[in-house]
Chain A
Amino acid sequence: TQLLEQSPQFLSIQEGENLTVYCNSSSVFSSLQWYRQEPGEGPVLLVTVVTGGEVKKLKRLTFQFGDARKDSSLHITAAQPGDTGLYLCAGASADSWGKLQFGAGTQVVVTP
């Protein structure tokens, strides 16, 4: 059972468009991480958010952690084909350090 719900499951857009991916849970997390996974590879960490309401920017990617630390979003501005991949969110609870709960992921395809 995935405690983290990601939406949408699949997103296909044209190069230059913007997109937002959501990660929601009924649980409170002490930290939340976003990973990107390309075919045939393992997930690669993009960012860790730890404070409710926190916003982090990584070039064209903007990550936000909800005020209650139960949800997060990833916004990509002017998407490029290189942004194609499976975006996974993963949450850690204060009482289970070392254990990440992953969402099922959002498959993003950016076509030229």
Chain B
Amino acid sequence: EAGVVQSPRYKIIEKKQPVAFWCNPISGHNTLYWYRQNLGQGPELLIRYENEEAVDDSQLPKDRFSAERLKGVDSTLKIQPAELGDSAVYLCASSSGRGSYNEQFFGPGTRLTVL
């Protein structure tokens, strides 16, 4: 079974430029998460989707960040314009919502560097 797929793996941009990250969750997983992981820190949730609905976006900086999950499968996270402080690893995770305890499966992440 394929895991969570993310692209690109690395991205280097100049500040004020836009950037987008793409995520394909595990087949059949209705719940999708975007996290940001700063160096030396654990992941912090940005947004959570149940199917195509964003059910928790309280930590998403909405002035510059946006996300969508059309048709409840793939998702895109966008930053426009990027700032130096946005440099981090952006992780996508998915879970089935079935069974116990919200076990999440993570993709490899996109490492963003803003110059």
Q: Bin the interface of chain A by size.
A: 20 to 34
Q: Which residues of B contact A2 (CB under 8 A)?
A: 41-42
A40 touches B103 (CB 8 A): no
CA distance A43 to B93 in the complex (A): 9
A50 touches B100 (CB 8 A): yes
A45 touches B105 (CB 8 A): yes
B43 touches A102 (CB 8 A): yes
CA distance A48 to B102 in the complex (A): 9
Render A72-99 as a binary contact track against B, CB cut-off 8 A, 1 for contact.
0000000000000000101010000111
B101 touches A50 (CB 8 A): yes
A102 touches B55 (CB 8 A): no
Closest to B109 in A: A42
Render A28-61 as a binary contact track against B, CB cut-off 8 A, 1 for contact.
0011010100001111110010100000000000
A96, chain B: closest CB distance, angstroms = 8
B101 touches A42 (CB 8 A): no
Closest to A102 in B: B42
B113, chain A: closest CB distance, angstroms = 14
Q: Which residues of A contact B43 (CB under 8 A)?
A: 43, 88, 102
Interface positions, chain B 64-115, Cβ under 8 Å from A, are 91, 93, 95, 100-109, 111
CA distance A50 to B55 in the complex (A): 24
A48 touches B42 (CB 8 A): no
Interface flag for B44 (CB, 8 Å): yes
Interface positions, chain A 91-112, Cβ under 8 Å from B, are 92, 97-100, 102-105
B102 touches A104 (CB 8 A): no
Interface of A toward B, CB cutoff 8 Å: 2, 4, 30-31, 33, 35, 40-45, 48, 50, 88, 90, 92, 97-100, 102-105
Beyond A31-B102, A43-B43, 14 additional pairs, beta carbon < 8 A: A31-B100, A33-B101, A33-B103, A42-B4, A42-B107, A42-B109, A43-B91, A50-B101, A90-B42, A98-B102, A99-B45, A99-B48, A102-B43, A105-B41
